[in-house]
Chain A
């Protein structure tokens, strides 16, 4: 606003926009502002994750039992598998591995992955 270069005010404004955006982009990549928002979103995710896993797997187990006539067994197995799957989902959501299934996603990509993921790999073996 203070000075007007020959390229005209509009072009100058465009340049300023570009500059501002270029400055803002890296800051956002490293996870800048949305701490509160993401925390809330994560918190709301966790509760449902665990419950649904158990309920759905028990339901599927019950249905398979009814279908095959193997009354309690599939349901029992599915119950424990459901708990494990639910825990796994919650663990992944909390450690920041996203909704990922599979261990090998970001760990192999960059060496600077959060240490939590490598600990998990170690425990696992």
Chain B
């Protein structure tokens, strides 16, 4: 019972289907299950939302169209028309994070983005992809990124390491921001829910706080998905349009 009440218990990854390939543990966990559900839901939304496309959209079609237009707009206004080839990636990224943030808010579900390894993998994918795009578009000229223009040589000794460092920190900030927001929010919800379970009749107060917090968490969930996607767009913009 005490384990149940622990506010961090909701983040434990458990094996549902223990599996082992050689030395590597590839068990099907609750995190994997949640991710599979998320991917299925997104696919279902887009497939069923666009199947019977009518001029006056129904509810499902509206949601699909709004999310499409939102991301398309974000890519176009931040990267420009050259960014549109990368739209599918940004869209998948945005939808995946949005869905895992929102579905994680449902009681007894699991927050995939509350795991640092998941967010870090996403951020690293963006980082490596953007770097490769930069090198493909500009060749070795891309390295001039780290050399500020019109700066004396003496200062370059200090500035170049700073620039390199601030570039390599990107995947960390990107992943920690999302992870920390999710972790903090859900822990807070868990703590108040834990109070509610102990104090009997007065449980109404922590529950009321949880209701308010849940509204805040809804905002954070969507906003963090937006931030992640828009930062990916900005990084992409850097790689494509360096001058």
Interface residues of A (CB under 8 A from B): 10, 13, 28-29, 37, 40-41, 44-45, 48-49, 52-53, 56-57, 78, 81-82, 84-86, 88-89, 98-106, 108-109, 121, 124-125
Q: Report, as a range, how many residues of chain B touch the other chain.
A: 35 or more
Q: Is the CB of B227 within 8 A of A44?
A: yes
Give Cα distance in the complex from A124 to B152, angstroms.
Answer: 10
Tally of A-B residue pairs with Cβ under 8 A?
105
Q: Is the CB of A89 within 8 A of B166?
A: yes
Label chain B's interface by main secondary structure: helix
Give Cα distance in the complex from A49 to B163, angstroms.
Answer: 14
Q: Is the CB of B227 within 8 A of A85?
A: no
Q: Is the CB of A100 within 8 A of B234?
A: yes
Give Cα distance in the complex from A108 to B73, angstroms.
Answer: 25
Supposing A44-B177, A101-B146 touch, asked if A85 and B170 sit within 8 A by C-beta, the answer is: no
CB distance from A57 to the nearest CB of B (A): 6
Q: Is the CB of A103 within 8 A of B231?
A: no
Q: Is the CB of A89 within 8 A of B73?
A: no
Residue from the list B149, B181, B227, B234 in contact with A104, Cβ < 8 A = B149
CB of B89 within 8 Å of the partner chain: no
CB distance from A125 to the nearest CB of B (A): 6
Q: Is the CB of A53 within 8 A of B238?
A: no
Q: CB-defined interface of B32-56 with A at 8 Å, one 1/0 digit per residue?
A: 0000000000000000000000010
